[in-house]
Amino acid sequence: MYDVRPLIALDSKRFMDQLRIFIRSRHYSFKTEKTYCYWILAYIRFNHLKHPETMGNTEIESFLEHLSVACSVSCNTQKTALNALVFMYREFMQREIKDLRFRYATKPRQLPTVFTHNEAQAVINGLSDKPKLCALLMYGCGLRISETTRLRIKDIDFGSDCIFVRETKGDKCRRTLMPKMLIEALKHQVKSSLLQHQQDLHDGFGGVFLPGALSRKYPNAAYEPKWQYLFPAVSLSVDPRTGILRRHHVSEQSVQRKVKESIRKSNIMKKAGCHTFRHSFATRLLEAGTDLRNIQELLGHSDISTTQIYLHVVGLHERGIVSPVDH
Residue positions annotated with a catalytic role: 144, 169, 275, 278, 301, 310
CB-based contact 165:174 (threshold 8 Å)? yes
At 97, give phi and psi (nearest 5°): -115, 120
- Cβ contacts of residue 209 below 8 Å, gap of 6+? 215, 222, 239, 241, 246, 248
Q: Say how many C-beta atoms besides its own lie within 10 A of residue 303's C-beta.
A: 8
Alpha-carbon distance 73 to 23, whole Å? 25
At 193, give phi and psi (nearest 5°): -65, -40
Alpha-carbon distance 207 to 226, whole Å? 12
Alpha-carbon distance 195 to 173, whole Å? 28
